[in-house]
């Protein structure tokens, strides 16, 4: 609880400026909306719905892997991180606070997509497990993004690095499209990526795919393992102090 008490003031301080400018949300939604439109036009409403489910995962993971590193490097460049380093908080509360600020940034868009799904037939009772999946996905992306940001010192480079990681985690794996479209001979490669399991879980809870009972447990186990690993990375390997 102490970690959360330290994290939330940081989150609110960093989130409010972007929440006050709706244009940021429009900019953030353009690329996922474009993929949704492309998949709908190419594959029909069913594939478009699959892409819409993937958009949820994209928003959750990109809040951490794309937006967060750029924020962290920006804070360090403006010497604001020195203020947090000099305070009694440690790297984990600082990482969580900055990560929550990025979650608040994308939360209106996640709510909008969930509202569209509910209006088109998704039972409200399916929302809690979907939100749980998105929360773990956000945590994975955030902890990885925070760690990466502490190693990239040049603010000119972090945008390229974070956007590349975002593409590798969301565009290539079966996130916008279902795992069943991947040839079975290479599905094992896709299953090494955490966002594959996140998208698969969302589709399972929505009822868009049917899988064996063991697949549900496997996907949760993989997400849990990645979350624990990246939390450990933040606690032990993140360079949040200046070298």
Whole-number Å distance between alpha carbons of 106 and 235: 25
Residue 46 is encoded by which pair of tokens? 């069913």
Whole-number Å distance between alpha carbons of 139 and 72: 16
Give the pLDDT confidence score for residue 238 in this predicted structure. Answer: 72
- The reply to whether 232 falls in a domain is yes
- The reply to whether 147 falls in a domain is yes
- The reply to whether 243 falls in a domain is no
Report yes or no on whether pTM surpasses 0.85: yes
- The reply to whether 242 falls in a domain is no
DSSP 78: T
- The reply to whether 181 falls in a domain is yes
Domain range enclosing 99? 2-236
Give the pLDDT confidence score for residue 25 in this predicted structure. Answer: 65
- The reply to whether 241 falls in a domain is no
Give the pLDDT confidence score for residue 240 in this predicted structure. Answer: 62
Give the pLDDT confidence score for residue 189 in this predicted structure. Answer: 94
Query: Other CB atoms closer than 10 Å to residue 189's CB: what's the count?
Result: 12
Give the pLDDT confidence score for residue 214 in this predicted structure. Answer: 82
- The reply to whether 186 falls in a domain is yes
Report the number of distinct structural domains present in the chain: 1
Whether the Cβ atoms of residue 128 and residue 196 lie closer than 8 Å to each other: no
Residue-level pLDDT, tens digit, the chain, 243 residues: 677 777 878 788 877 777 676 666 666 677 777 878 888 888 888 888 888 899 999 999 998 888 888 887 777 777 777 777 777 777 778 888 888 888 888 888 898 889 888 888 888 999 999 999 999 999 999 989 888 888 887 777 888 889 899 999 999 999 999 998 999 999 999 999 999 999 999 999 998 888 777 888 999 999 999 999 998 888 887 776 655
Give the pLDDT confidence score for residue 168 in this predicted structure. Answer: 92
């Amino acid at each position: 609880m102490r970690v959360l008490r330290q994290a939330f003031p940081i989150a609110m301080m960093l989130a409010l400026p972007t929440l006050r400018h709706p244009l940021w949300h429009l900019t953030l939604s353009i690329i996922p909306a474009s993929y949704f439109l492309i998949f709908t036009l190419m594959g029909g409403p069913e594939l478009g719905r699959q892409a819409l489910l993937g958009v949820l995962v994209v928003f959750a993971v990109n809040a951490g892997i794309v937006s967060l590193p750029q924020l962290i490097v920006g804070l360090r460049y403006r010497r604001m991180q020195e203020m947090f380093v000099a305070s009694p908080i440690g790297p984990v509360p600082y990482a969580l606070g900055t990560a929550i600020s990025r979650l608040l940034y994308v939360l209106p868009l996640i709510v909008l997509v969930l509202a569209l799904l509910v209006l088109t037939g998704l039972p409200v009772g399916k929302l809690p497990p979907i939100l749980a999946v998105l929360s773990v996905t956000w945590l994975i992306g955030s902890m990885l993004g925070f760690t990466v940001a502490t190693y990239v010192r040049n603010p000119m480079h972090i945008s390229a690095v974070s956007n590349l990681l975002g593409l590798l985690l969301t565009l290539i794996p079966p996130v916008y499209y279902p795992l069943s479209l991947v040839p079975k001979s290479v599905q094992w490669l896709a299953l090494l990526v955490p966002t594959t399991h996140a998208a698969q879980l969302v589709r399972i809870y929505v009822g868009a795919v049917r899988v064996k009972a063991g697949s549900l447990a496997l996907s949760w186990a993989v997400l849990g393992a990645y979350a624990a690993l990246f939390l450990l990375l933040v606690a032990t390997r993140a360079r949040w102090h200046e070298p």
